[in-house]
């Protein structure tokens, strides 16, 4: 039997229209679609009526178990001659484990392609009126994960990066802000946390860095959420364009 092929596809940050043209084409010809918890379910309607849809949402504490199952599915279905789409939120190579999955496929001799997607760390702030770079405010950008704060060089981040974007940091927001201030980031640096970015559920809380955890807790902000830290957050006051969910208050940055 002919071996199939796997496409590691970025679905974009949430808005279904932000998937790439090629990503949608891959989805339309897939025999099997393995999709993440944060993928917009509306995208699944582009799959063939007889396509097999496999949900692989990762709950806290079960990431490694689920990831091993994903590896097995990718290899198993491709060896059966199937065209497989691994559909991931955002970009598959930005904290999406595409590198790990590609390694498994390469080792198994399975053909694959990586199909880039619109990454949440840039798109979500943009939908909140925050460009992550700007000639007057930010010439450097750091993209980090909020899961492993003990492995970060906080001093380098605090002193060397104009804009810091933190993925998966909602649960550790207080620790992240505390560590940055302790490492030298001014306590009144503009900061924001954006919940369910690019979707009809989007909410943004913006505040000085040291005050952000308390403001986010007051507003009931939870995951999925993106954190943005830097002077570019000030631009939200002028550039906010996307209508946000009215279920909670959107707090704009003010001078402390």
Number of residues in the chain: 256
Nearest to 82 by CA among 190, 6, 188, 8: 6
Query: Is residue 86 classed as helix, strand or coil in its secondary structure?
Result: strand
- What positions carry a catalytic annotation? 36, 58, 168
Nearest 5 degrees, angle CA 116-CA 198-CA 207? 115
Q: Which residue, chain included where needed, has tokens 């860095």?
A: 209
- Name beta bridge partners: 10: 88
Tell the burial category of 50 from Cβ atoms under 10 Å away from its Cβ (0-12, 13-18, 19+).
Answer: exposed
DSSP character string of 47-81: S-TT-EEEE----TT-HHHHHHHHHHHHHHHHHTT
**103/143 Cα distance (integer angstroms):** 23
């Amino acid at each position: 039997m002919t071996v199939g092929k796997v496409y590691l596809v970025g679905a974009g940050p949430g808005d279904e229209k932000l998937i790439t043209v090629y990503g949608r084409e891959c989805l339309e010809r897939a025999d099997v679609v393995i999709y993440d918890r944060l993928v917009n379910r509306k995208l699944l309607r582009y799959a063939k009526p007889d396509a097999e849809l496999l949900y692989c949402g990762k709950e806290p504490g079960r990431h490694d178990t689920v990831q091993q199952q994903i590896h097995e599915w990718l290899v198993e279905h491709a060896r059966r001659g199937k065209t497989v789409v691994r559909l991931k939120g955002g970009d598959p190579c930005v904290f999406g484990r595409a590198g790990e999955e590609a390694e498994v496929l390469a080792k198994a001799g399975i053909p694959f392609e990586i199909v880039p997607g619109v990454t949440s760390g840039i798109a979500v702030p943009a939908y909140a009126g925050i460009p992550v770079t700007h000639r007057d405010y930010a010439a450097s950008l750091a993209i980090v994960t909020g899961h492993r704060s003990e492995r970060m060089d906080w001093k380098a981040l605090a002193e060397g990066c104009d804009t810091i974007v933190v993925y998966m940091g909602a649960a550790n927001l207080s620790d992240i802000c505390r560590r940055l201030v302790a490492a030298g980031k001014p306590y009144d640096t503009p900061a924001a946390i954006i919940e369910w970015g690019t979707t009809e559920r989007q909410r943004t809380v913006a505040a000085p860095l040291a005050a952000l955890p308390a403001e986010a807790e007051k507003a009931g902000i939870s995951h999925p959420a993106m954190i943005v830290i830097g002077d570019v957050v000030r631009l939200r006051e002028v550039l906010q364009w996307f209508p946000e969910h009215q279920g909670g208050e959107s707090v704009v940055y003010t001078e402390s």
